[in-house]
Amino acid sequence: MTDIKRDIVAKRLDRISREGHTFGHAVPAARTVPLVPFGRSPFVICEVKRRSPSRGDIHSGLNAVTQARHYVEAGIQTISVLTEEDYFSGSLQDLIDVKAAFPQTSILRKDFLTDREDLEVSYRAGADAVLLIASLLTAKDLADLKHYAEQLGLAVFVEVHDEQDIARARPLKPSFTGINCRNLGDFTLDRAIPLKVRPHVDWTTKLVFESGIFRPEEAAWCAEAGFQGILVGEGAVREPRLASQLVKTFSPPWAHHPADKPSFWSRLYERARPGRPLVKICGLAHREDVELADELGADVLGFIFAPSPRRVEPGFVRTLMTRALKVGVVALGPNDPLPEEISDLLEEGVIDAVQFHGHETPELVDAWAQRAYKAVGADTPAAFSLYLNGVAPRLLADAFAKDSEGRILTGGTGQRIPDDVLAALGPRPLWLAGGLGPDNIAHVLATWKPELVDASSRLEATPGHKDPVKLRQYFQEIDHACV
């Protein structure tokens, strides 16, 4: 498999061998511009970016100074300048020009830096901070470059993507840590990655969410998840209004702080274990079933507030104390708001999130995305794609069924999504519901490797009442499959 990151570095090193670390640009022999602190509030890093390997041309004719001026006028304190030439169409000249035009703005040099001379050139060109990509460097080289950059007076922004990267970064305890939701090996994007990785960052640092931000709602979602900063590239270049909207999101009194209660998504991914799916048991309507599912290790417990044989009243859920997260399932029409009694349960902390399971609009789902997600019929690709670019990083693929009058049945159908339908969804982290039970969960885990599995009716003795034997068998099968 091609590693795009390694290809970029190989071409870059080849150019250095021919052109030197300045790539033929007239970099000053000594720094002539002030060093400006990195990480000032609002910690929104907007990027000067013309293209990328994943998206192709973003703005091929972009003028670096003009773009930077737009950011500065919007209130941006920190600008990232991509200087890689072959894959991103950037240059050191962009950095020199932007810093000369805006000397009091903090400038991050974003490139695939690999040695001390890269850092010296960055300093002379006017960078206030440099990006060091943990996956690109050995632990020894990362430590050496961080130390040398700080000797020069540069701030160091260490980028991680997985636990291996964090293992390299941890001994250095960088003051600024970016978690990139883009995999630089294949340039795929997954906005849940920073939430999965974040619990392993166990040192004091300013955490920055990198990539995948195109709307202010997505930035708010990051802030709610406890990130102190964001780095936005393509979205800020394509949408002129976004920069000022991001400033509002990360400025008092709008900014969220890590001391606030962690978001549903953060708490959910804190429960994730390598090689094992998150487990949701849904349709719980009896206290003994709730207690057993919680005892067996369920990560999420689902309570149905929509018309169903498994429907429960809010008062019942208020009496439950569980280790697992609690989700309320609703099925709304396209013009319905979230019922007040459900939003009250969220505000009170009785439930941790909402599962939308009806005909809700993408706008409603996005409005609640910090504490909600959407279940979609996997056999309706058009509906699936309608919600695919929503703020929430996951959709629950379910085997929807309809009654004799054409109304959607809210879970509990016992039907499984056919394998060919799942295959048609393409490669993506899968949340899977529909017809899961002790007899098929091992096959499903081996075949599809879902991130979350959601079971209900196949674990029942009667509608709404779980069979304790089936419930125990289900967890045993998951345990055996994940050994």
Distance, CA of 124 to CA of 152 (rounded, Å): 10
Residue 73: CB atoms within 10 Å: 10
pLDDT digits (tens, 9 = 90+) for 66-92: 999 999 999 999 999 999 999 999 999
Distance, CA of 50 to CA of 66 (rounded, Å): 13
Residue 344: CB atoms within 10 Å: 12
State the pLDDT confidence band at 384, using cuts at 50, 70 and 90.
confident
Distance, CA of 304 to CA of 311 (rounded, Å): 5
Measured N-to-C along each axis, helices 116-125 and 92-101 cross at an angle, to the nearest 10 degrees, of 40
What are the Cα distances from residue 437, in Å, to 89, 95, 145, 466?
52, 57, 52, 12
Check residue 380 and give its pLDDT: 65
More confident residue, 201 or 412: 201
Check residue 483 and give its pLDDT: 78
Structural contact between residues 159 and 128, judged by C-beta atoms closer than 8 angstroms: no
Check residue 405 and give its pLDDT: 62
Distance, CA of 477 to CA of 126 (rounded, Å): 58
More confident residue, 257 or 8: 8
Residue type, 420: D
Check residue 404 and give its pLDDT: 61
Residue 362 is given by DSSP the state H
Interacting residues of 349 by C-beta distance below 8 A, sequence separation 6+: 261
Pairing of strands 353-356, 401-402: unpaired
What are the Cα distances from residue 225, in Å, to 170, 208, 261, 334, 452?
21, 11, 9, 28, 20
Long-range contacts: 215-218, Cβ < 8 Å, 24+? 215/242, 215/391, 216/242, 216/245, 216/246, 216/248, 216/249, 217/366, 217/367, 217/369, 217/391, 218/191, 218/391
Region 185-193: what's the mean pLDDT? 92
Q: Which segment of 152-161, 216-225, 330-339, 412-421 scores lowest on mean pLDDT?
A: 412-421
Over 50: is that where the pLDDT of 395 sits?
yes
Region 305-320: what's the mean pLDDT? 95
Structural contact between residues 160 and 136, judged by C-beta atoms closer than 8 angstroms: no
Quick one: what percent of the chain has pLDDT higher than 90?
84
Over 50: is that where the pLDDT of 368 sits?
yes
Over 70: is that where the pLDDT of 195 sits?
yes
Pairing of strands 401-402, 408-409: antiparallel
pLDDT digits (tens, 9 = 90+) for 246-292: 999 888 665 544 445 678 999 999 999 989 999 999 999 999 999 99
- The CA R_g of the chain, rounded to the nearest whole Å, is 25
Structural contact between residues 76 and 243, judged by C-beta atoms closer than 8 angstroms: yes
DSSP letter string, 228-267: SEEEESHHHHH-TTHHHHHHHHTSTTT---TTSPPPHHHH
Distance, CA of 386 to CA of 397 (rounded, Å): 13
Pairing of strands 278-281, 395-398: unpaired
- For residue 41, give the 3-state DSSP assignment: coil
Interacting residues of 126 by C-beta distance below 8 A, sequence separation 6+: 31, 32, 33, 95, 96, 98, 99, 100, 107
Distance, CA of 371 to CA of 351 (rounded, Å): 10
Check residue 406 and give its pLDDT: 61
Distance, CA of 227 to CA of 207 (rounded, Å): 5
Check residue 465 and give its pLDDT: 96
Q: Which segment of 37-51, 182-196, 245-259 scores lowest on mean pLDDT?
A: 245-259
- Residue 396 — left, alpha, or beta (φ > 0 → left; ψ -120 to 50 → alpha)? beta
Question: H or E stretch including 17?
Answer: helix 4-19
Q: What is the pTM of this model?
A: 0.91
Over 70: is that where the pLDDT of 297 sits?
yes
Domains along the sequence of the chain with CATH: 4-249 (3.20.20.70), 275-481 (3.20.20.70)
Q: Mean of the per-residue pLDDT values for the chain?
A: 93
Distance, CA of 471 to CA of 289 (rounded, Å): 9
Kindly give the residue spans of alpha helices, DSSP state H, lying in 20-161. 64-73, 92-101, 116-125, 139-152
State the pLDDT confidence band at 403, using cuts at 50, 70 and 90.
low
Residue type, 28: P
Residue 65: CB atoms within 10 Å: 14
Residue showing tokens 């000032």: 40
Quick one: what percent of the chain has pLDDT higher than 70?
94
Region 6-12: what's the mean pLDDT? 96
pLDDT digits (tens, 9 = 90+) for 88-137: 999 999 999 999 999 999 999 999 999 999 999 999 999 999 999 999 99
Distance, CA of 30 to CA of 39 (rounded, Å): 24
Distance, CA of 462 to CA of 460 (rounded, Å): 5
CA 432 and chain centroid, separation: 19
Distance, CA of 190 to CA of 106 (rounded, Å): 28
Over 70: is that where the pLDDT of 5 sits?
yes
Check residue 257 and give its pLDDT: 46
Distance, CA of 67 to CA of 46 (rounded, Å): 10
Q: Give yes or no for a cis peptide into 274 (omega within 30° of 0).
A: no
